[in-house]
Amino acid sequence: MSRILILNAIPDNTQSELETLLEKIASDPTQGSEYKVIRLRENDIRYCTGCWDCWVKTPGLCAHKDAMTEIYPEVISADCVVFLSTVSMGYVSALCKKVCDRLIPLVHPYFEIYQGEMHHKSRYAKRPALAVWLTDESPEPIDLNNIHLLFDRLSINMKTDFSGVIHPKTTMEDISNALSTL
């Protein structure tokens, strides 16, 4: 059974119907996968300061003692991490971006050649696939392309697969079907 972690980066309560449906899916034992949903806005998550303590002083551990301390193990143990986000100014929410930036402890400061490019070595052998689920029904094509490109690069940096960008559906069946394809 695959384990899917949904990092809900919706910054406010404007998508409460979708969030309720997600909680319903996550708690449904008949699903073919195990789901966990974390509402990021309900957690204290600080911005990365670029101090590099996670590489030098406390390898793999961020200097900030916030909710990310509990989120890191969830990310590592997942088979797929889905970033659920609104589109804001042509990109994912600031909360989503903040969490992506804070994933730096998951890699080493050392480099290696990966897919013909210089990248950081992975800290963990197991790495989850990544996907983005946008709540906007019709994002602008250029925004969608930029989000896709940036998360594709994040997946390369993490040496994992990028499952792509998902658009939300309004029925529980459609949402369940979209999640089951990950």
Task: Tell me the mean pLDDT per 10 residues along the chain, length 182.
Answer: 93 88 84 90 97 93 96 96 93 96 94 92 93 85 91 94 71 57 58
**For residues 63 and 56, what is the distance between their CA atoms, to the nearest angstrom?**
11
Pick from 122, 124, 14: nearest CA to 77: 124
E strands, 48-180, in order? 80-85, 87-88, 91-92, 107-114, 117-122, 129-134, 162-166
**For residues 147 and 90, what is the distance between their CA atoms, to the nearest angstrom?**
8
E strands, 64-106, in order? 80-85, 87-88, 91-92
- State residue 182's pLDDT score: 56
- State residue 82's pLDDT score: 94
Pick from 51, 45, 35: nearest CA to 69: 45
**For residues 71 and 86, what is the distance between their CA atoms, to the nearest angstrom?**
20
One of 3.40.50.360, 2.60.120.260, 3.40.50.300, 3.50.30.30 is the CATH number of 3-11+31-180, namely 3.40.50.360
- State residue 113's pLDDT score: 93
Cβ neighbors of 34 (< 8 A, separation 6 or more) are 1, 2, 3, 4
* Tally: H helices and E strands in the chain: 5, 9
Helix H or strand E encompassing 147: helix 141-157
